[in-house]
Amino acid sequence: MYLASCGNSTLNSSASSSTTAASPSSSSISVSAGLLTVDITLPASFFEGKTQDEVISDAKEKGIDKVTANADGSFTYTISKEKQAELVDQMKQSLVESIDKVKTDSNNSFITDIAYDKDFNNFTISVDKTKYNQGTNQIYAGIDALGIAMTDMYFKLFEGIKSDDMYIVFTFQDASTKEVLKTIEYPKALKNN
């Protein structure tokens, strides 16, 4: 669901109390800031498998002030800046919880630690190199990184960061020697596949 959400996004500011995306692209996320509200346009790919009524109902349950269905299948959420801050805080908490789950998952016994900066741009995943190189552990580590990256990108988009301006790096390193075993950059890695 999030893979297609990594298209271009735009951030526009205006002095009006509410702005509306004129013609949002179905593959972009647009954040327009007014004095009291913020419009966030999410691409149709975020809502695959849901009817318009389901999308609007789900958004209203989450406290979204106004939901507009756009002709291209995207939806524009109009929310107060206070609600945006609340949603960003919730997403940040969810991101931290996702990272903690990966660290403590018994299937990831090869991961010894996950460190990250305050902006969630750089992640260092320390691993037991011997275990990391066994079986499918490298694949699981990559899947874990992708899951964290998707949550992080979604969080960043609601903060108003353009997907083209995102730079999220996962560095896998040997816990004992600090040797770099692999580096993955998002969203670049998604564009290359």
Q: Model's pTM, two decimal places? A: 0.72
Cα 94 off chain centre by: 11
Q: Report residue 162's pLDDT band, with 50, 70 and 90 as the boundaries.
A: confident
Q: Does the pLDDT at position 14 exceed 70? A: no
pLDDT digits (tens, 9 = 90+) for 78-137: 888 898 899 999 999 999 999 999 999 999 999 999 999 999 999 999 999 999 999 999
Domain boundaries, the chain: 3-81, 84-191
- Topology of domain 84-191 in CATH is GMP Synthetase; Chain A, domain 3 (3.30.300)
Judge residue 126's burial from the number of C-beta atoms within 10 Å of its C-beta, 0-12 exposed, 13-18 middle, 19 or more buried. Answer: buried
